[in-house]
Amino acid sequence: MHHRIALGLLCGALALGTAGASQAREPLNVVTSFSVLADMVEQVGGEHVAVTSLVGPDSDSHVYSPSPADARRLAQADLVVFNGLQFEGWMNRLLDAGNYQGVTVTATDGIEPLAFTDADHGAPAEAEHADHDHDDADHEHEHDHGEHAQHASHDEHAGHEHQHGDLDPHAWLDVARAEQYVANIRDGLAEVDPQHAEDYRTAAQRYLEELDALDAEIRELMSAIPAGRRSVVTGHDAFEYFGEAYDVRFLSPVGLNTAAEPAAAELARLVDFIQKNQVKALFYENITSPALIRQLAEEADLKVAGTLYSGALASDGEASTYVGMMRHNAQTMHDGLSGDAASH
């Protein structure tokens, strides 16, 4: 009898222990605003995270309209990660609607953002791009920028509901700045889940080294193109960070607003600029309508040299990760501007 009781207690304890271990292994529920951030969180979090992206691959955050289901997703989240710099004008309302009280990571915290003026919003924007050469010694320290990154509450961002402010939010398109994103994500995960903090630090360091190599690869590809040929026309004005970092000039028919349609006079000015500056190729963008680029290609008698990815990853293929997206963009630009791409 005593043996049966003891065995029963032991089985009960083992069952409780198994349940507790299973519960402990349950991954963090992380919600991100868009797909680039989701991939970064997965790279750093690994098996410890389950990530939901509110705006999915090949979808445009500029025109996204949150649903009640999104508010419920936030209410159930352990961590929320968003870009900041007013990229997600809908995020503050959504955080309030979901009554989210947990930790938030603003991925751009600690980044020196680019400012833009009204001239940058339309065509032809002729901003000069300073060379963004990195001092190797300084670049090694960029990995630790986010060691004490602050995770701002969404209340601090209240009032930024309109489409972008005075600062360009597309900072992830410079790989060096994207490394600050990774540091901020690492610190946010460690804050919410200190038990696995060392795993997050190890994974982040490995990822940062991969980004260092990617940055060097992009620089090599862009520097192989003569400076006079490094002019790119895309669907909307999202690539200024890439342009500053890798010494490329970008032009757009619609500025920052992907839903805008340029006036005929603006298109005519852009065509004139393209011809006078001997722009060699136009590029589609995965989150904007191809119609405008097709029209420009026809009027300027140019080829469309491929598709670039800016505010969303691809649903599949090489550009379905951040590293793959940046590598694809650089290779596509290199091939198009050097004359190696076939016309589309």
- For 110, phi then psi, to 5°, come to 90, -5
- The CATH number of the structural domain formed by 26-216 is 3.40.50.1980
- Which secondary structure element, helix H or strand E, spans residue 294, and what is its range? helix 291-300
Ramachandran class of 261: left when φ > 0, alpha when ψ lies in -120 to 50, beta otherwise: beta
Nearest CA-CA partner of 336 in 296, 310, 305, 293: 305
- pLDDT band, very low/low/confident/very high, at 293 (cuts 50, 70, 90): confident
* Residue 151 near residue 104, CB atoms below 8 Å: yes
* CATH class of residue range 223-337: alpha beta
pLDDT attached to residue 198? 98
- The strand order across the sheet containing 103-106 reads 49-55, 28-34, 79-82, 103-106
Q: Where are the domains of the chain?
A: 26-216, 223-337
pTM of the model: 0.77
The sign of the CA dihedral 113, 242, 179, 314 is positive
- Give one DSSP letter per residue of 200-245, joined into a string: HHHHHHHHHHHHHHHHHHHHHHHHTS-GGG-EEE-SSS--HHHHHH
Whether residue 157 is predicted with pLDDT greater than 50 in this model: the reply is no
- pLDDT band, very low/low/confident/very high, at 266 (cuts 50, 70, 90): confident
Range in 52-66, 149-163, 254-268 the model is least confident about: 149-163
Q: Which two tokens stand for residue 101?
A: 């009280």
Helices H, strands E: what count in the chain? 11, 8
229, 248, 334 from 223: Cα distances, Å: 11, 10, 9
The sign of the CA dihedral 133, 137, 140, 145 is negative
| Residue the block writes with tokens 């550009």 | 319
pLDDT attached to residue 21? 40
Per-chain mean pLDDT for the chain: 79
56, 65, 196, 282, 341 from 307: Cα distances, Å: 18, 25, 39, 9, 11
Q: How many CB atoms sit inside 10 A of residue 4's CB?
A: 8
Which carries the bigger pLDDT value, residue 208 or residue 280?
208
- pLDDT band, very low/low/confident/very high, at 162 (cuts 50, 70, 90): very low
pLDDT attached to residue 145? 39
Whether residue 262 is predicted with pLDDT greater than 80 in this model: the reply is no
pLDDT attached to residue 137? 37
Whether residue 38 is predicted with pLDDT greater than 80 in this model: the reply is yes
Range in 91-95, 152-156, 187-191, 262-266 the model is least confident about: 152-156
Q: Which two tokens stand for residue 270?
A: 């852009």
* Residue 305 near residue 336, CB atoms below 8 Å: yes
Q: How many CB atoms sit inside 10 A of residue 251's CB?
A: 24
Nearest CA-CA partner of 33 in 114, 116, 93, 113: 93
For the residues 111-131, what does the mean pLDDT come to?
Answer: 55
pLDDT attached to residue 209? 98
pLDDT in tens, 135-147: 433 433 333 433 3
pLDDT in tens, 44-102: 999 999 999 999 998 888 789 999 999 999 999 999 999 999 999 899 899 999 899 99
- pLDDT band, very low/low/confident/very high, at 121 (cuts 50, 70, 90): very low
Q: Which two tokens stand for residue 79?
A: 């961590």
pLDDT attached to residue 165? 64
Whether residue 16 is predicted with pLDDT greater than 50 in this model: the reply is no
- For 235, phi then psi, to 5°, come to -70, -35
Distance of CA 99 to the CA centre of its chain: 25
pLDDT in tens, 170-220: 999 999 999 999 999 999 999 999 999 999 999 999 999 999 999 999 999
Count of residues in the chain: 344
